């Protein structure tokens, strides 16, 4: 009986140690960098693009073009209208920038840019942005990846084509008085999503 009790205690201790070791190993695995910057950028882009596609398709295009019950407007507050998909995307990017300030391990930024921007602040600015936006416009379906140094930090920069998938995208850009290009067609590359991840300080 005494032996049996000792055996149980030993077994308990062994299980506890094994459990602790597994937990430590799991924690290590959780924090181990196993994803490349490119894979992370691709994953982020997939989420961003899917969310915006759903907003464009099931909210903006459905209510504006199909059901015709409300307008979408750049001045959505004054016009009591829906925010444009590009605005929804930009507001998300600004909120991410703000919230990630409190998360030291989360460090990336993204923006929507174009060679033909309605808002001139969204024109490419860095050399990589300029080269990347040109590349994705000329090589349909391809992404552009590069490294660049900005403000003393090296970044992995990924640029993904942004295609006019819905009629509202094309009609809005072609009809906007500040748009430098007004002959977009459905399926054209209208701009690009730029994602930046710092590689070193």
Partner 1 sequence: MPAANAIGQRRLWVVWLTLMSGLVAWLAYSMLESDNKQIFMPGPLTGGHHQIGVACSACHTDPLGGGEVLQQACIDCHGADRKKPFDSHPRSKFKDPRNADRLENIDALVCITCHVEHRPEMTAANGVSQPQDFCFYCHADVGKDRPSHRGMAFNTCNNAGCHNFHNNRALYTDFLIKHLHEPEVLDKPRLPAREFAGMLDEIADYPADRYPVKQLVAEDADAPGVAHLEASGFRDWLETAHARSGVNCSACHVSPGDAGDKRAWNDHPDHRACAVCHDLEVKRFERGKHGMRLAVGLPPMTPAQARLPMKADAGHKQLECNTCHVAHRFDIHQAAVDACLGCHNDKHSLAYKQSAHFQLWKKEVAGEGEPGSGVSCASCHMPRVNFDVSDWMSRVMVEHNQNATLSPNEKMIRPACLHCHGLGFTLDALADRHLVDNNFQGRPTTHVTSMEMAEADEKRAEEETEGLEQN
**Can you give the binding site for partner 1, defined by CB under 8 A?**
74-75, 78, 93-95, 97-98, 101, 109, 111, 120, 125-126, 129, 150-153, 155, 175, 177-178, 182-183, 194, 196, 198
For the four alpha carbons of 25, 27, 32 and 38, in that order, the dihedral sign comes to positive
In whole angstroms, the minimum distance from the beta carbon of 179 to partner 1 comes to 9
Retrieve residue 68's tokens: 């015709």
In whole angstroms, the minimum distance from the beta carbon of 98 to partner 1 comes to 5
Nearer Cβ to partner 1 (11/199): 199
At residue 195, φ and ψ (nearest 5 deg) are -115, 135
Nearer Cβ to partner 1 (138/183): 183
CB 114 within 8 A of CB 133: yes
**Residue 105: half-sphere exposure toward Cβ, Cα within 13 Å:** 4
Nearer Cβ to partner 1 (5/98): 98
At residue 191, φ and ψ (nearest 5 deg) are 180, -160
In whole angstroms, the minimum distance from the beta carbon of 181 to partner 1 comes to 10
Nearer Cβ to partner 1 (60/195): 195
Nearer Cβ to partner 1 (27/153): 153
Cα gap 168→60, rounded to integer Å: 8
In whole angstroms, the minimum distance from the beta carbon of 97 to partner 1 comes to 4
In whole angstroms, the minimum distance from the beta carbon of 9 to partner 1 comes to 53
Q: Is 190 exposed, middle or buried (0-12, 13-18, 19+ CB in 10 A)?
A: buried
């Amino acid at each position: 009986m005494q032996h049996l009790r000792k055996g149980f205690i030993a077994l308990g201790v062994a299980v506890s140690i094994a459990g602790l070791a597994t937990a430590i190993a799991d924690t290590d695995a959780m924090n181990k960098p196993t994803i490349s910057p490119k894979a992370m950028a691709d994953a982020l882009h997939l989420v961003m693009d899917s969310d915006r596609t759903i907003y464009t398709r099931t909210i903006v295009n459905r209510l504006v073009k199909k059901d015709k019950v409300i307008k979408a407007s750049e001045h959505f507050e004054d016009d009591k209208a829906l925010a444009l998909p590009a605005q929804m995307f930009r507001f998300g990017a600004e909120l991410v920038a703000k919230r990630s300030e409190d998360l030291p391990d989360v460090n990336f930024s993204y923006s929507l840019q174009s060679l033909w921007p309605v808002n001139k602040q969204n024109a490419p600015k860095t050399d990589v942005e300029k080269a990347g936006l040109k590349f994705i416009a000329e090589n349909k379906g391809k992404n552009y990846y590069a490294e660049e140094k900005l403000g003393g930090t090296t970044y992995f920069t990924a640029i993904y084509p942004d295609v006019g998938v819905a009629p509202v995208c094309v009609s809005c850009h072609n009809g906007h008085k500040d748009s430098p290009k007004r002959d977009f067609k459905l399926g054209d590359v209208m701009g690009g999503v730029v994602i930046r991840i710092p590689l070193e300080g």
